[in-house]
Structure 1
Amino acid sequence: MKFILICIISILSLSVTAQEQYNLTVQGECGMCQDRIEETALGFTGIISAVWSSNNKILTVEVSNEESTAFSILALHDAISSAGHDTDKYDAPDDVYNDLPACCQYRELEGNESETGNDDLNPLESKVIGYVYELRPNGEQEPLIGANLIWENNGEGTTTDFDGAFSTIFPKGGDNLIVSYVGFHNDTLMVKKGGHVEILLDPSVMLKTVNITYRKKSTEISYVSPIKISSISSKELTKAACCSLSESFETTSAVDVGFSDAVTGLRTIQMLGLAGPYVQITREGQPDVRGIASLYGMEYTPGPWIESIQLNQGTGSVVSGYEGIAGQINVELAKPYSEEKLYINGYANQGGRYEGNMNYNTEVSESVATALLVHGSKRTRVHDRNDDNFIDMPLSDQFTAVNRWKFLFRDGWVGQAGVKITTLAQEGGQIGHEEHNNVTHISNPWLTTVDINRQEGWIKSGMLFNENKSSIALQLSASNHSHESYFGERIYNAKQQTFYANFLIQHMLDDNGSYAIVGTSFTGDHVDEHLDNEIYDRIEKVPGVWAEYNYLKGEKLTIVPGIRLDHHNIYGWFTTPRLHLRYAPTESTVLRLAAGRGQKTASIIAENIGMLASNRTVVVEGNQADFPYGGLEAEVAWNYGVNLVKDFVVADRDLSLQLDGYFTDFKNQIIIDYDDDPRFVKFYNLDGKSTSLSLQALVGFNPMDGLDIKLAYRYNDVKADYQSGTLQKPLIAAHRTFANVGYENKSGWKFDYTVNRIGSKRLASTSKNPENLKRLKKSPEWFLSNAQISKVWNDKFEIYIGGENLFNYRQKDPITSADDTSSPFFDASQVWGPIFGANIYVGFRHKLFNE
């Protein structure tokens, strides 16, 4: 405990935080300029979003990951100017600027204009610059995207960008400019001199109205990142109840959500057919959900706190560490410098769950800002819809709060600091005890309670040097986690103290944007677990060094090799090589390849806590006493991935296709064996093969304004060699079909509907059970349907109503031997479907903005 207190005190004594948003002036003219500027920015270390406006020439970038403190604004100016666009700091080299397409050349022309014959025109008259609009029935002017403008005599011209803006060279002597757009008759304008012009197409001469407007997607795939990253915005999260991180993936096809057992109500996730603990979950680039918090830790991040989620499948960057095997989920929380000064959310559902959230931020001074995030929730109502005398969802009481600070210093240092506290109390099990005043009376009821207390602190700091071509950053975090619980007569108590440090140096290598990052890290864990009379205590110390090289060859090719060398005080030295390759043969096509190694220490009880909701005897079969749990080796796997992203235009509407394939090959895995005997659960090291093959196809389509459709199909083949032979892993669906339809109109109404077809899952063998307690070998296929309707007023106030599991599908008899909890065959851990059934909820969101 002493070292964790020292870590927290050290954290609180440092005043450093990070800047996540920057604005800079960048010159440009058209949609091609916008693509080039934004792609250059998005290819820069730490930037996760970039938006350039052709109206005010402002580029807004958001820096929000573990590399944010190493971000160099001047290096970004240099990279953009090197791509051909003047900024308010640097001018683009003349040779690069002159190679830009004519529509992209924004500077006032100098000297002779021999190609266009404009030698007698002043610079402002050498171009025709303007906008093309459609006049809507309500009198508003709507930009027309992709309108064609062609000079009648020479056949040259351009098209309008996302803002309806265009720029074209003015021919000497004037000419007729023909404007055409799908659904409108062509219009011809006689232009006698250059300058600014606004063109309004009259709806009275329309053939058939076709409206095209650009809307930022609520889930977007980066086209420039060498790693395929899906960025899930807060807008996407509001399409569902999203009460916590574990409930944030209902409209995402890449993540499967289930329950750990039939009594705790604990949600679990799967990615690539692998359990949640194989996914590295970070908070703004630092380790978050891991160890004894592997499952319950998903409940500690309320959905309304989340600003965005970055999700990548397969191997990630070595900068993030060595533990990720199935993928990485990085969570960005609401920031102190947010435009929302106050955000309040209230929620209630049919199951008796009530929740409130508040996000408040304020600027203390020009260089200091702070944010306070507060969450409270309760579940107070007892439900037993399947009449098995067990509460369908546990009673609960949770409180979580974060206070975070940001600082900007004149000497170039930037950084952030924060603290977080969480308390959680749950009670579930049989409902026939006097405390809840139920009619049914059960002597000696089977009960479960969980009490969790967690404290965390973290800092980030960084600075620029070497003429802003290099940067350094330091990340520190510490946590203290206490878990006390009992399941019937079984007691499980655990404590974990963690300290993490990561120091990195980044250096720009050339003008093309290539760079290298090197660093050193340390992860320390003290885990003390007590399961009945068994004590499992371990101390892990893992110092390491790592390096990553980002090679960019123009806009088409990116190669990122990386390697880590770490030393584990128990498992010894190990290396973590990883490689990412991105190739973009066209602007609308991106192919990515990835391969890499991952390693983690299994926390077998916390990661499989649902097994405690049974009378199974826990058996650990190890072969080295110095290893955790008396002989379990580290879990090691190689992951190989390929994905293709292709955009199409169908009937003037956007359609995107994503194809993904991932193969995971375990060199060692801790096998959890429920099949050998229903009275036992065994843990042992892999002796043979364990693999996961995951294939997915996703189509996104925008058939009309405000309407988005996503369709996906995923196939998983996950199997391992057990002591009894090769088996498919239990409780994993081989097939899943997903459909999501979202619609919103300009009046503030939003509608969202998601339906999943969940394929059959193999169930743990019950062949040795008594005849009346035998269960199916496979679960049936079933459908899960969710929907939500919301109404927004002035972007400030929103009310919503929704429903989960609208078809009211429920797993029949989820608890084996529910009427005799003393039976050795009592088991509530084999859950493959919903327990509660349909659940209706309502809520509101209210925002106050900074002036």
Structure 2
Amino acid sequence: MTKIKELIGTVCFILITCIALAQTGKIKGKVTQRDHEDVQAATVSIPKLKKSVKSTISGAYELTDIPYGTWELEVRFVGFHTLKKMITLNSDSLEQHIELSEKSNTDLDEVVVSGTMKEVSKLESSVPVEVYTSKFFKANPTPSLFDALQNINGVRPQLNCNVCSTGDIHINGLEGPYTMILIDGMPIVSGLSTVYGLSGIPQSLIDRVEIVKGPASTLYGSEAVGGLINIITKRPENAPLLSLDAFGTTWGEISADVAAKFNVGKKAQSLLGINYFNYQHPIDNNNDNFTDITLQHRISIFNKWNFERKDNRIFSLAGRYVYEDRWGGEMNWGKKYRGGDEVYGESIYTSRWEFFGTYQLPIKEKILFQFSTNGHNQNSVYGNIPYLADQYIGFGQFTWFKTLGRHDLLTGLTYRYTNYDDNTPATASAGNIALNKPTQTHLPGLFLQDEITLNGNNKLLLGVRYDYNSIHGSILTPRLNYKWNSVDKNNVLRLSIGNGYRVANVFTEDHAALTGAREVVFMHALKPETSWNGNINFVKKIDAGTTFIGLDATAFYTYFTNKIIPNYDKDPNKIIYDNINGHAVSSGVSLNIDVVFANGLKILAGATAMDVYNTEEGKRSGQMFTEKFTAVWNIGYTFKGIGLTADYTGNLYGPMRLPLLSATDPRREYSPWWSIQNIQLTKHLGKKIEIYGGVKNLLNWTPNKGNPFIIARTNDPFDKKVQFGTDGQAMVTADNPYGLTFDPSYVYGPNQGIRGFLGFRYHLFK
């Protein structure tokens, strides 16, 4: 009898369970962030049931046909911590509101790809990677990514010419040619574009920017000696249907970013972005008869496609076209004077196209084929000196990801082809300088990486790369990384040592070689530069009640051999290029502090102290255009009651050595301490519109302060009245009391004073 009762009870339980499972309901609610602002396009899912929806404009979501029971609810949104929560549904409807917390820039859970070429959290990455989301750059809106990087610790946009305002990116004091710029992991920005192509990347399409400081040549090859900057664009499925960001300044600058998403069929999504910048108002506040900043007219079009494939295999394509017309010079310059010696102007026409993509092979193993190709046409004149150049680069790479026990393996096979041609001695025939001979470089390579998980707290990464340069021969670049994290994962220590190399092309990298103000001299055939780098990085996360504190400290040391340093001092009429007969060193320490308070106050600050010098024939000298100290800050506060956010951003730079033309040159040999500071207010109007405005360069700082002049001999830019001695030096005369020649290379900071700005943003989601 007892057994019969047990059987009946079991049957009843099964029947009740089946009835319960047959019943379904819905889960609904809103997704917000800490200040109760609605979060649009967040992914709300129950992974076990493979059900998911996107939150609406108002942050609302609704999951339907959910069986009664207990399930894990997961909410994801870019820039915020993933929330996982157990919920129980036992009625027709369950209301569940979700509040997401924003990630900080030192967050250990942030996803990165640049350090090891695969998506991992910052915690799991054996290589230290800094991540800056698109929201970070909105605190100080700029017309280009080049300008936006000024508020990142250890990274400095360096202007290389007072007249045409071209520049490059310095990392830890190393010049622009040592920094590799990637778009979605592809080496797009290189060669000519390190000087001319950094502008025109639509910021509305940027998801985040990842920065690796120190050599990354083992994975990325030449140019990644000082570090790399990887610009990750948005995935179409995560982007709004339409977004617009436009602003203008009191100087007459107009900048606009427009992006739109659309579907083609059920398996293709596309993201289209247009960037436009226009400045056509010559200003001469320092009264030297030269434009203070360069006039520019630029348009850039970017298009990215993602295709859905079986088993979620990757297939994406993207392309970009940039055209820019910029000029600077004497205030009365016009296009009729282009290339002549009557009125001085520097006029640059840039036309550039790029195409790149990623395709995962339809096989069981994870093998990716990545490719990129770009063409760059440069039509420039510097006074009466023309610089005409064409560059074409093709790149292909196979990568194979394989996990074997504790070994996470990555193997890559690469090939890069570069065709470069210009009208300078760089591409002239050795036997006949009048005969043009374009440079063609073939660079096949092979790399292998093994990331070994020793245990839950320790990882070891071993890597090696072999390249064969068709001009310079074999190049080997190894690296070793070690990572330790505490049990609570709030402390991470990383040690790394690695080798880097760079094959130099002076005429695509050093604008001073093109200005026409000095003669370019090569003492010998340039050899590839090599470097060894050591890094110690420590990251600590502190949860102090309702306050989050993140610390990120790094000590670095890089030792160069065969370094190429332009010599401005030996002859004021020449720039002499040669591999140094000695060594060069870049060393220092940096610290980032990230503090987030519960009341909405956020502080991100950083400082770097460094010593960059070269030693040749026993003589040590500091590197030009390199500061010993730099600091940045980004302080934001949201007034929740009125929906207003205030952002105060700025940077501070220590003195740097500058090129003087003679012993009687009255300009400062070292720059002073200088700072650019900005303030911005942003007001949210509903869910779709933001109005923002503020003041840039609050201190009204410009480099001419404390100097009698910045550009030498602006009254005689073609040196028609300069008298030269038998030694080739400019002579001191009544018309030339300092014995100078025309030279715009004395530049270390932007020459644009205080200005106001006003703009608006519009975002339309489903």
Q: Which TM-score applies when normalising by structure 2? A: 0.79
CA contact (8 A) 1:472 1:506 kept: yes
For 1:59 and 1:709, the matched residues in 2 are separated by 39
The answer to whether the Cα contact below 8 Å between 1:53 and 1:59 also exists between their aligned partners in 2 is: no
Aligned to 1:286: 186
8 A contact 1:620–1:684 mirrored in 2: yes
Aligned match for 1:799, one of 691, 695, 708: 691
Given the alignment, which residue of 445, 468, 481 partners 1:580? Answer: 481
1:428 paired with 2:328, answer: yes
- Contact map agreement 2:659 2:745 (CA 8 A) in 1: no
Using the TM superposition, give the Cα deviation of residue 321 of structure 1 relative to its aligned residue in structure 2, in angstroms. 3.2
Q: Which residue of 1 aligns with 2:342?
A: 444
Aligned pair 1:820/2:716, yes or no? yes
Flag as ranges the 4+ runs of structure 1 deviating above 6 A.
51-61, 161-167, 197-200, 434-437
Equivalent AA in structure 2 for residue 741 of structure 1: I
Amino acid at match of 2:389: A
Residue of structure 2 equivalent to 1:542: 443
Using a 3 Å threshold, how does the CA distance of structure 1 residues 538 and 433 change in structure 2: closer, same or farther? closer
Quick one: which amino acid aligns to residue 616 of structure 1? R
**Which of 785, 790, 808 is the equivalent residue of 2:677?**
785
- 2:241 corresponds to: 341
Deviations 1:23-72 (A, max 9, x none): xxxxxxxxxxxxxxxxxxxxxxxxxxxx99898889999xxxxxxxxxxx
Query: 1:142 corresponds to which residue?
Result: none
Q: 1:751 maps to which residue?
A: 646
The residue identity in structure 2 corresponding to 1:520 is L
Distance 1:367 1:268 in 2: 39
- 8 Å CA contact 1:617, 1:679 repeated in 2: yes
Aligned to 1:736: 630
Flag structure 1 segments of 5+ consecutive residues without an equivalent.
Answer: 1-50, 62-107, 109-122, 131-160, 168-196, 201-211, 623-630
Distance in structure 1 (CA, Å) of the matches to 2:751 and 2:312? 55
Q: What is aligned with 1:189?
A: none
- TM superposition shift of 1:786: 1.6
Residue 516 of structure 2 corresponds to residue 601 of structure 1: no
For the aligned residue pairs, the C-alpha RMSD in angstroms reads: 3.3
For the pair 1:248 / 2:143, whether they are aligned, the reply is no
The AA in structure 2 aligned to 1:461 is Y
1:430-457 deviations in Å (ceiling 9; x for gaps): 01246799xxxx9922111001111221
Distance 2:695 2:133 in 1: 21
**Structure 1 residues 130-145: aligned runs within 5 Å:** none
For 2:459 and 2:128, how far apart are their aligned partners in 1? 12
CA distance 1:674–1:57, shift in 2 (3 Å): farther
Unaligned runs of 5+ in 2: 1-41, 53-67, 74-80, 88-93, 109-121, 429-436, 723-739
- Contact 1:563/1:575 (<8 A) preserved: yes
> 1:481 Cα deviation (Å)?
0.8
Q: TM-score when scaled to structure 1?
A: 0.71
**Does structure 1 conserve the Cα–Cα contact (< 8 Å) formed by 2:347 and 2:381?**
yes
| CA–CA distance in structure 1, aligned partners of residues 400 and 85 of structure 2 | 41
SS at match of 2:265: coil
- The aligned counterpart of 1:530 is 423
Q: How does 1:15-414 map to 2 (within 5 A)?
A: 214-217=101-104, 220=107, 222-316=122-216, 318-410=218-310, 413-414=313-314
Match among 499, 504, 521 for residue 619 of structure 1: 521
Residues in 2 aligned to 1:59 and 1:281: alpha-carbon distance in whole angstroms: 38
Query: CA-to-partner distance for each residue in 1:524-578, whole Å, 9 max, x for gaps?
Result: 1011122389737311101111111111234311211111111111111111111
Matched, 1:458 2:356: yes
Of 571, 575, 585 in structure 2, the residue corresponding to residue 677 of structure 1 is: 571
1:689 alignment partner AA: H
* Structure 2 CA distance for partners of 1:59 and 1:496, relative to 1, 3 Å: farther
Deviation at 1:752, TM superposition (A): 1.1
Given the superposition, is the C-alpha separation of residues 486 and 760 from structure 1 closer, same or farther in structure 2, using an over 3 Å criterion?
Answer: same
Cα distance in 2, alignment partners of residues 677 and 285 from structure 1: 41
Offset of 1:165 from its aligned partner? 6.5
Q: CA deviation at 1:362?
A: 1.1
Shift of 1:702: 2.2
Aligned to 1:19: none
Aligned residue among 371, 381, 391 for 1:476 = 371
Corresponding residue to 1:591 among 473, 493, 506: 493
Structure 2 counterpart of 1:646: 540
Shift of 1:267: 3.8
Change (3 A) 1:588 1:256: same
Query: What SS does the corresponding residue of 1:605 show, helix, strand or coil?
Result: helix
Return the letter of the residue paired with 2:101. Answer: Y
Question: Do the aligned partners of 2:217 and 2:500 also contact (CA within 8 Å) in 1?
Answer: no
1:721 is matched with which residue?
615
Hey, what's the Cα distance between the residues in 2 that align with 1:229 and 1:59?
32
Aligned residues: 649
> Which one of the candidate residues 824, 830, 840 is aligned to 2:746?
830
The answer to whether the aligner puts 1:711 opposite 2:605 as a matched pair is yes
Deviation at 1:701, TM superposition (A): 1.6
Instruction: Give the partner amino acid of 2:628.
Output: A
Equivalent residue of 1:295, what SS?
A: helix
- Please give the alpha-carbon distance, in whole angstroms, between the structure 2 residues aligned to 1:724 and 1:839: 48
Q: Secondary structure at the match of 2:655?
A: coil
Q: Which amino acid aligns with 2:549?
A: L
Distance 1:362 1:287 in 2: 27
CA contact (8 A) 1:315 1:578 kept: no
Query: Tell me, what secondary structure is at the counterpart of 1:318?
Result: helix
The structure-2 alpha-carbon separation of the partners of 1:356 and 1:522, relative to structure 1 and needing over 3 Å to count, comes to same
Per the alignment, residue 133 of structure 1 pairs with: none
Amino acid across the alignment from 1:815: I
Does the 8 Å CA contact 2:356/2:372 hold for their aligned counterparts?
yes
Deviation at 1:665, TM superposition (A): 0.9
- Give the whole-Å Cα distance in 2 for the aligned partners of 1:517 and 1:199: 42
Partner SS, residue 291 of structure 1: coil
State the one-letter code of the partner of 1:620: F
Matched AA of 2:644: W
